[in-house]
Amino acid sequence: MGDVISTHLDENKREMITARTREVTEDFGRLYEQQYAVALFNSVRYEIEGGGGAQPQLLHRKDPLEGKAIFSGGLFQYLEENKKWRNRFVYVDDTYQINFYENKQAHERSLRPKGTLSCAGYKALTSMEEYTQLLNTSLPGVKAKVGSGAVVRCATQFPLILWHPYGRHHYFCVLTEKEQNKWHAVLQDCVRHSNNGLSEDCKVRTPAFTDTVRLHRQRHGHYGTWDLMCGAPPQILANLVMETLHPELRNLIGPRLKGKLQQKQRSWMLISDSVYRQVLSQTQAQYEALLQACEEQRSSLDAALRTDMDQIITSREHVSSKLRAVVLPRAEQLLRGSVQPYLGSILEALMEPTSRGFSEVREVLFRELVEVSKNTLNGGGKEKMGEHMEKISMLAFHPVKMKSCYEQVEQLSLEGLQQRFDVSSASVFTQRAQVLMREQMDNAVYTFEQLLWQSLEAQGGEDLCHTTQRCQDRVLKKYDYDSSTVRKKFFREALLQIIIPYMLKQLSPSCSPEFPRFQEMIFEDFSRFILVENVFEEVVLQSVTKDIMMAVKEAAVQRRHNLYRDSMVLTNSDPNLHLLGEQPGVDWAAQLGVEGHDLEGSLGGGRSSGRKRRQVVSMIQLDGMPPLPYESCLEVPGVELIPEEGEGEEVKGHGGGRAELDEPKSPDSVDGIRDLINPVVTVALPVTLEEAAGHSNGMEAGVGTISLGDGVEEEVTLIRTVVEEVRARSPAGKSGQEVEEQLAGSCPQEVEEGQQEVEEGHQEVEEGQREVEEGQQEAEEAHQEVKEGQQEVESEEGELFTENAAQEVEIAEQEEDSDQVTECGLDSDAEMAPRLPESSPRCHDDSGFQSPTNEGLDENEAQPIVADPEEVAVTLDQEVSVVLNQSESRHLPPSTKCVSEIAHEI
């Protein structure tokens, strides 16, 4: 493709491009020197006389993105050199510039990026169809047919394209739709930030540059808004050169391009990018030289201004009054006939989507602050609050979270008004409103942080929920005032940007021939600071300002869009709050001891002050997808500063799997609190439904789940025991006489062994009695814990739960005594039937009591006893009866083991 560029951009054409660029920049330079002196005069006059609007209620953060990064991860990028897709690690820093690296390791080693892209003037697209429509406008007379091949064949079905009218196009793609939406939001934010215009902190350079660009375009017949008034001054100058040079080269080179449609389009894009880079290199050098020359004269100009300020102001007012007498009658006639009938329609078209966008900002802010209050109310404590505040602090710069707010303003349309008032597109107003929305969101969040931290320091963390709620209400009220003021200012500026160019275009042909005679009224020493062309624009502005102010005021009185009247806007109503604006931002992670805030939770960030930056937007982990062999954005672990859509219920693991949340929220219901204090564990035994139905003492079968050791949940059959109170029986249901007769005919040695086993059983009975006494002591401790739980539960539902808990403790006491008595009555060497799990106290039948050990005995089954079973059974039956009679005559102690220990023993 290099041959195409060299063929169509030979030495003669490059010299012509250089000459055209020099011509435009020299003309621009002469205008800039004049406007620089005028801007300096306005700045000094404002400094002396003062002035300004209403005092904002919210605080403003000076450097909100300090130590932060916006986004980072892997993308598939199309390389024009070899026409192949390669994976690149992309890093978006706090300046919203996009840096490309060979891989993640190259970025972590602080190597130079393979490329850096400024998104000024670009459009972020997500479909090849939309991209094709824009390509069809690049070459006149060459249209792509329906179904024809694309210029670039995307590697996946989720493309991301950055389109520029003059510069190089960039093609990316990802693997999932969710990834595409997130990257698209980030790219749009980069474009929005880059198109925001020049910094307003430069009180002289910025007004001088913008006025020079506007006057230069007006002299060439271009009035109205300009979409490419974006980026740094050299970029804007390059766009100014390309505005006239690009169509000329297209008509000259376009017909000479050869090949198929896609080949022609690709060749023209390469040629256009080469021309744009050549122009940009020239404008960069010439603007720096121009700026240096003006800065050298600034000291002398400033001294002359301060010496003769009164005379300069008087002379300017004299010229303005003379010019006003000539211009005002014509301006008022044009205003009544061509502007006033459309004023309400323009204002309504601006107000409707803008007000919805600011309302959505308030709604998003309200939801996040309510989440803080809920976590505090549920006992999260300061550490939990610190974690959530760490997330909220970057809410305004989270493109995904703010996307719903931006989408409301994107519906702004000026259909039917654009051609009449020479408005190129509504994108200028849309992006400006979105930037104002982001600023208001950040101001509200910053104010909430300062108020909350001040309250926490004063109160020492007591009553966090009440403190959070009070700060929330205070911030939302201030946001309502400030958003109303900001919107009204935005509406006035937008109306001026639409109406003033139209009126200037209509009035300039008749008024500009009279400018020389007005220039003669100005003293030569003051002519550098007073320009008739600027005074003329000011007179036209004054003629329409009254109508614009009245239209906005009427809209505020109607209260249709939640606007306040100017008289309601408080001025410096909270001086103590504005003192907090001088303090640095609160580091919630450090102040409240949030765990892991210095870990590589800032993955993907660049290095700032010796440490990695924290990343605002988290990456995406796909469910069920193993790590890919190449390094892509799917492998980069995200910093979960602000959870996004669908990510609040689970935390993505590094390997693409899911990890359960480690810190569940506090329960909001009485049942949830009851389950925390007295948990119930259901254990499934290997018993079939048929076997359960055959037990004489009764079983209930059900279906449930149990969590295994590796966290996997398995569906199992639950067998619950329905207990009854019965007396112990001999194994075969025989009388004592029959047992003695059977033992008499047995072997004497076996009889002696049986007697020894009976004595051992007596010893176990005594040990069981001692255990019962120990259980009584532990029961008293359990009762004490129940009393403490009663003090914590204040609601009526909590009192009801305490009564239920007391009943459950009594039932548990009966169960424990039953287990202990049964263990004492059984032969120590005999094999016991498998123990069934203790069912929940809520599932027990309160009508009786039965030892779970006897449930597995059956009359027809032989018992594995060494001695004659009837002799041993008779002796044990007597001992068990004694113990049962004793247990019925006193209060049994509760279980001395927790539910988890019982389940482990089973």
Give per-residue pLDDT as tens, 289-304: 999 999 999 999 999 9
User: What is the chain's mean pLDDT, rounded?
Assistant: 74
- Residue 246: per-residue pLDDT: 93
Helix (H) or strand (E) holding 73: strand 71-79
Residue among 770, 453, 440 at smallest CA distance from 588: 453
Tokens of 598: 């210095």
Instruction: Please state whether beta strands 98-101 and 115-117 pair in parallel, antiparallel, or not at all (unpaired).
Output: antiparallel
The tens digit of pLDDT for each residue in 489-514 reads 999 999 999 999 999 999 999 999 99
Query: Which of 112-116, 204-208, 589-593 shows the lowest per-residue confidence on average (mean pLDDT)?
Result: 589-593
Q: Taking 50 as the threshold, does the pLDDT of residue 362 lie above it?
A: yes
Query: What average pLDDT score do residues 55-65 get?
Result: 85
Query: What average pLDDT score do residues 567-591 get?
Result: 57
Query: What average pLDDT score do residues 442-467 get?
Result: 82
d(CA 409, CA 361): 11
Query: Which of 141-145, 470-474, 866-870, 890-894 shows the lowest per-residue confidence on average (mean pLDDT)?
Result: 890-894
Tokens of 283: 């404008």
* All residues at 6 or more sequence positions from 481 whose CB lies less than 8 Å from its CB, including other chains: 57, 564, 568, 569, 570
Query: Which amino acid is located at 636 in the chain?
Result: V
- Residue 370: per-residue pLDDT: 87
pLDDT-based confidence at residue 477 (cuts at 50, 70, 90): very high
- Residue 493: per-residue pLDDT: 94
The tens digit of pLDDT for each residue in 62-99 reads 888 887 888 999 999 999 888 899 999 999 999 999 99
Query: What average pLDDT score do residues 606-627 get?
Result: 53
d(CA 231, CA 242): 15
Helix (H) or strand (E) holding 502: helix 464-511
Query: Which of 94-98, 249-253, 559-563 shows the lowest per-residue confidence on average (mean pLDDT)?
Result: 559-563
Cross-strand bridge partners of residue 124: 162
Q: Taking 80 as the threshold, does the pLDDT of residue 666 lie above it?
A: no
d(CA 730, CA 876): 9
Instruction: Give the Cα-Cα-Cα angle 864, 868, 872 (nearest 5 degrees).
Output: 90
- Residue 380: per-residue pLDDT: 63
- Residue 173: per-residue pLDDT: 94
Q: Taking 80 as the threshold, does the pLDDT of residue 784 lie above it?
A: no
Query: Which amino acid is located at 648 in the chain?
Result: G
Query: Which of 541-545, 603-607, 817-821, 872-876 shows the lowest per-residue confidence on average (mean pLDDT)?
Result: 603-607
The Cα diameter of the chain in Å comes to 147
pLDDT-based confidence at residue 107 (cuts at 50, 70, 90): very high
- Residue 501: per-residue pLDDT: 93
Cβ atoms of residues 412 and 426 within 8 Å: yes
Tokens of 393: 């602090």
Q: Taking 50 as the threshold, does the pLDDT of residue 804 lie above it?
A: yes
d(CA 772, CA 430): 79
For the chain, domain boundaries: 1-26+43-48+201-229+232-285, 677-905
pLDDT-based confidence at residue 611 (cuts at 50, 70, 90): very low
Q: Taking 50 as the threshold, does the pLDDT of residue 640 lie above it?
A: no
The tens digit of pLDDT for each residue in 437-453 reads 999 999 999 999 888 88
Query: What average pLDDT score do residues 450-462 get?
Result: 76
Q: How many CB atoms lie within 10 A of CB 851?
A: 22
Cross-strand bridge partners of residue 87: 76
Query: What average pLDDT score do residues 314-331 get?
Result: 94
Cβ atoms of residues 56 and 318 within 8 Å: no
Query: Which of 560-564, 733-737, 865-869, 902-906 shows the lowest per-residue confidence on average (mean pLDDT)?
Result: 902-906
Q: Taking 70 as the threshold, does the pLDDT of residue 883 lie above it?
A: no
Q: Taking 90 as the threshold, does the pLDDT of residue 656 lie above it?
A: no
Residue among 113, 94, 126, 117 at smallest CA distance from 167: 117
- Residue 65: per-residue pLDDT: 84
- Residue 632: per-residue pLDDT: 39
Task: Please enumerate, as own/partner, the contacts of 766-770 that have beta carbons within 8 Å and a separation of 24 or more.
Answer: 767/824, 768/820, 768/821, 768/823, 768/824, 768/883, 769/824
Helix (H) or strand (E) holding 88: strand 84-92
pTM: 0.68
The tens digit of pLDDT for each residue in 684-710 reads 445 444 444 444 444 445 555 555 444
- Residue 466: per-residue pLDDT: 83
Q: Taking 70 as the threshold, does the pLDDT of residue 361 lie above it?
A: yes
- Residue 652: per-residue pLDDT: 39
Query: What average pLDDT score do residues 570-580 get?
Result: 57
One-character DSSP codes across 389-400 = HHHHTTGGG-TT
pLDDT-based confidence at residue 145 (cuts at 50, 70, 90): low
N-to-C CA span, the chain? 77
Region at 294 (left for phi over 0; alpha for psi -120 to 50; beta for the rest): alpha
State whether residue 326 is helix, strand or coil: helix
- Residue 405: per-residue pLDDT: 95
Q: Taking 50 as the threshold, does the pLDDT of residue 574 lie above it?
A: yes
DSSP 839: P
- Residue 704: per-residue pLDDT: 57
Instruction: Please state whether beta strands 115-117 and 611-612 pair in parallel, antiparallel, or not at all (unpaired).
Output: unpaired
Q: Which of 259-268, 323-332, 804-813 has the highest mean pLDDT?
A: 323-332
More confident residue, 750 or 475: 475
d(CA 750, CA 734): 20
Query: Which of 135-139, 191-195, 654-658 shows the lowest per-residue confidence on average (mean pLDDT)?
Result: 654-658
State whether residue 204 is helix, strand or coil: coil
Query: Which of 438-447, 546-555, 851-860 shows the lowest per-residue confidence on average (mean pLDDT)?
Result: 851-860
Backbone angles phi, psi at 487, to 5 degrees: -65, -45
Query: Which of 191-200, 507-516, 843-852 shows the lowest per-residue confidence on average (mean pLDDT)?
Result: 843-852
Q: Which of 50-64, 434-448, 772-786, 825-839 has the highest mean pLDDT?
A: 434-448
Residue among 372, 189, 165 at smallest CA distance from 269: 165
Cβ atoms of residues 158 and 180 within 8 Å: yes
- Per DSSP (E only), the strands in 246-385 are none
d(CA 381, CA 365): 21
d(CA 676, CA 98): 49
